[in-house]
């Protein structure tokens, strides 16, 4: 009987191992686990925020917000771009030509889609490359596409292996359950933050168009939305308290819209009494 019990326990262990392996197999994309992909997104969104902040200091002489969402130091386009590059290009770490071309193409596609989504859904332009050579609809240009190519070389060949070691270090220091809970919590926070940011940006742009009489597409519909929102006293107080002009322009200092004549209108130019940055590092004239 004892032998039968031991045999049954052995069979159960084998079944559990197989079940766990099958579960892990289902929870992967191109050989990468979902949890690692989520960790990549979080880490690279923070790294992107740091890079963009330093870039702003160097090019504009000011420390300003470069975050994608209302709350937290996250630059999502870097998170999205890095994750997509890693998923599709991690198998080419030693094939430099393919890696460069892959980064060139993948980075350009991600950048174009993010720009298009921002304009189509939120009615805003995150950036505009119209004045740069070899651009496509002002959303991407060859200069930054080449940058994406070189970034892929560094990301896959050098930087991401360090991130993998960092993730593995955390796995050795903390339980897998804790890491999954932490990753889930941050991911949930980012998802909620993204939704709130979309609503806040929409309300802010509606307010700016109506109050400044900007000649944008569907202007009458925008004004009607403004009346619906800001004639509601309770809603209006909430919006001004949490998503007021100062909060929005300090968080998104480079926010702009395009009028019907194709002119770019920077929101900070309409709110000249609000300093659109945290600190001035040195004097650099804005072009």
pLDDT surpassing 60 at residue 12: no
Assess contact for 134 and 142: CB atoms under 8 A.
yes
pLDDT surpassing 50 at residue 9: no
| pLDDT score for 25 | 52
The predicted model scores a pTM of 0.80
| 53-86: pLDDT as tens digits | 998 888 888 888 989 999 999 998 889 889 999 9
pLDDT surpassing 50 at residue 187: yes
| pLDDT score for 248 | 94
**So where are the chain's domains?**
28-280
Assess contact for 210 and 226: CB atoms under 8 A.
yes
DSSP letter string over the chain?
Answer: -HHHHHHHHHHHHHHHHHHHHHHHHHTEETTEEHHHHHHHHHHHHHHHHHHHHHHHHHHHSEE----SSSSSS--HHHHHHHHHHHHHHGGGTT-HHHHHHHHHHHHHHHHHHHHHHIIIII--BS---TTSSSEETTTEEHHHHHHHHHHHHHIIIIIHHHHHHHHHHHHHHS-HHHHHHHHHHHHHHHHHHHHHHHHHHHHHHHHHHHHHT---TTHHHHHHHHHHHHTSHHHHHHHHHHS-HHHHHHHSTT-EEE-TTS-EEEHHHH-TTS--SSEE-S-----
| pLDDT score for 172 | 92
| 16-67: pLDDT as tens digits | 434 444 545 557 887 889 999 999 999 999 999 999 899 888 888 888 898 9
| pLDDT score for 125 | 74
């Amino acid at each position: 009987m004892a032998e039968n019990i031991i045999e049954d326990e052995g069979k159960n262990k084998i079944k559990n191992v197989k079940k766990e392996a099958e579960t892990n197999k289902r929870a992967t994309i191109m050989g990468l686990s979902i949890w690692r992909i989520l960790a990549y997104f979080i880490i690279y969104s923070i790294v992107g925020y740091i890079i963009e902040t330093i870039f702003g200091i160097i090019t504009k002489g000011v420390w300003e917000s470069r975050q994608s969402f209302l709350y937290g130091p996250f630059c999502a386009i870097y998170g999205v771009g890095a994750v997509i590059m890693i998923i599709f290009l991690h198998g080419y770490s030693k094939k430099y030509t393919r890696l460069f071309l892959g980064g060139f193409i993948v980075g350009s596609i991600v950048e174009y889609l993010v720009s298009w989504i921002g304009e189509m859904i939120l009615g805003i332009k995150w950036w505009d490359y119209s004045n740069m050579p070899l651009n496509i609809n002002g959303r991407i240009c060859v200069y930054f596409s080449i940058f994406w190519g070189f970034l892929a070389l560094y990301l896959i060949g050098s930087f991401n292996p360090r991130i993998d070691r960092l993730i593995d270090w955390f796995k050795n220091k903390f339980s897998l359950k804790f890491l999954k809970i932490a990753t889930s919590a941050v991911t949930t926070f980012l998802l909620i933050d993204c939704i709130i940011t979309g609503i806040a940006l929409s309300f802010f742009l509606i307010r700016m168009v109506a109050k400044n009489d900007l000649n944008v597409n569907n202007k009458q519909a925008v004004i009607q939305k403004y009346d619906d929102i800001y004639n509601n006293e309770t809603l209006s107080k909430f919006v001004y308290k949490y998503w007021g002009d100062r909060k929005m322009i300090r968080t998104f200092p480079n926010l702009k819209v395009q009028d019907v004549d194709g002119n770019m209108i920077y929101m900070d130019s309409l709110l000249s009494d609000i300093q659109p940055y945290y600190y001035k590092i040195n004097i650099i004239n804005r072009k």
